[in-house]
Amino acid sequence: MRTYTYKAKLNAHTHRNLTEFLTQQRLLYNGALQERIDCYQKTGESIGLYDQRGSLTTLRREDEWFRKFDRWCQDSALVRVERAFKRFFRQGRGFPRFKSYKRGVQSFETLQKKPTFNGKYGYVKLKGIGRFRWRQDGRCDDRTKVKVLRVVQRPTGVFIQLVCDDKPQRLGLNQAIGIDVGVHLRAALSDGTVFPRHTPDRTEIRRKQRALNRCETGSNGRKKRRASLARACYRARVRRHNDLHRLTSEIVKHHGKWIAVEDLDIQAMTASAAGTAASPGCQVKQKAGLNRSILDQNWGTFFSQLDYKAASAGGQLVRVDPKHTTQRCSSCGGLPIKALTLNDRWYECTHCGYRDDRDVNASKNVLLKGLALFDAGGSFPAVSATGRPNQDMGPDRHGTV
Ligand SMILES: [Zn+2]
């Protein structure tokens, strides 16, 4: 599944209707959440998506305002309540919260509407809202492949997202690489390539935050500056994503599509050091700074982009256990007598004399672990841990790396 995003054009009338519909979605979401809570408190039993769809039908019969819009676009709010409860029960996430007037609902999706394409433009007309139009760019031309149509309101405009059922194509190089992500270097590859760390420029956002803070609560100036800050934050997010897309595309195109990375628990790594009131932690500020620089590297997005890009190039991304990947020697497999600290930038093996950048050494270890996990149906391209393609395609190719 791939998602393609297009900036939509819509007239003022459609814009107004969209705002009205998103307000209704917020009320519907909050109503559905309240209905579940009430039902559980009164009867001790839970209601599900199907019961709530029934309630929506009743509501549409009784209220003209709800009848005005498309039934299957409205369904989006109910599906989202269902998903929020699934995350709460199955993934241990927080209890679903009501959507406030300020944050609201910014998007909705439908499985029932397909767009129309006429060469240059794509269109979709939604009942009660109006017509959306966007410029086609050749990424998605087949309307039968569109599974989900999503409308997203963002600070810089309205966007249409088409979630398509695209089959991966086989192309590109046949090489396997290991990647070590870090804070000193953004990423080190087992073929020796290193990408420098990423430090986002926050000056514009800081300036706009200060300007917002100076405004009086409830004033028109505050409203304007709030929107301006939202646009700046959104632009920063787009920039960050574009940077990452450039990086991950380069890795898959020029370095390898069989990729091994460390299976990092980012949430645990970036937990606060504050502790509890009974047993307060130490170096809380320092830990917060480290957390910020870890999160600035966007490892989660980095991995998920690599995952789908590798898959669509006919390769695979595997996650390996990060244990000892930094400490072990990638040449002889020995562990150092004295453990490496964060300040040691070079790896020097006391057993075999191997010397390398510490992060490159780690990425080679990641690759060694990953080779056993690739599921290539016997056609796995043979490589050595140094990234050189292996000439010998014999049966011991996994053992000799
Ligand atoms: Zn060694």
Domain boundary among 60, 92, 107: 107
Domain membership of residue 115 as a residue range: 109-164
Number of domains in the chain: 3
- Residue 384 is assigned to a structural domain of this protein: no
CA of 333 to the centre of ligand 1 (A): 6
CA of 398 to the centre of ligand 1 (A): 19
Chain segment 330-387, per-residue pLDDT in tens:
888 888 888 888 778 888 888 888 888 888 899 998 988 888 787 654 444 444 444 4
- The pLDDT confidence band at residue 284, using thresholds 50, 70 and 90, is confident
CA of 335 to the centre of ligand 1 (A): 8
**Same domain assignment for residues 156 and 102:** no
Higher pLDDT, 291 or 99: 99
- The pLDDT confidence band at residue 313, using thresholds 50, 70 and 90, is confident
CA of 287 to the centre of ligand 1 (A): 33
Kindly tell me the sign of the dihedral angle through the C-alpha atoms of 356, 359, 364, 368: positive
CA of 353 to the centre of ligand 1 (A): 6
**Same domain assignment for residues 219 and 327:** yes
* Res 167: pLDDT: 65
- The pLDDT confidence band at residue 168, using thresholds 50, 70 and 90, is low
- Residue 388 is assigned to a structural domain of this protein: no
| Percent of residues, the chain, with pLDDT higher than 90 | 43
Statement: residue 389 has pLDDT above 90: no
CA of 181 to the centre of ligand 1 (A): 22
**Among candidates 87, 74, 61, which has minimal Cα distance to 32?**
74
CA of 176 to the centre of ligand 1 (A): 22
Statement: residue 322 has pLDDT above 80: yes
CA of 351 to the centre of ligand 1 (A): 5
CA of 336 to the centre of ligand 1 (A): 8
CA of 262 to the centre of ligand 1 (A): 21
Choose from 47-56, 135-144, 388-397 the range with maximum mean pLDDT.
47-56
E runs forming strands in 30-166:
107-110, 116-118, 121-126, 130-135, 146-154, 157-164
Higher pLDDT, 208 or 175: 208
CA of 332 to the centre of ligand 1 (A): 4
**Same domain assignment for residues 255 and 351:** yes
Domain boundary among 107, 129, 149: 107
Token pair, residue 161, equals: 């997202």
**Same domain assignment for residues 103 and 130:** no
**Same domain assignment for residues 342 and 262:** yes
- The pLDDT confidence band at residue 283, using thresholds 50, 70 and 90, is confident
Statement: residue 173 has pLDDT above 50: no
Burial, 106: exposed, middle or buried (Cβ in 10 Å; 0-12, 13-18, 19+)?
middle
Three-state DSSP at 336 gives coil
Kindly tell me the sign of the dihedral angle through the C-alpha atoms of 103, 65, 71, 79: positive
- Residue 356 is assigned to a structural domain of this protein: yes
**Same domain assignment for residues 299 and 276:** yes
CA of 368 to the centre of ligand 1 (A): 14
Alpha-carbon radius of gyration of the chain: 26
- One-letter amino acid of 291: N
- Residue 87 is assigned to a structural domain of this protein: yes
pLDDT, mean of residues 8-30: 95
Token pair, residue 86, equals: 């699934």
**Same domain assignment for residues 185 and 277:** yes
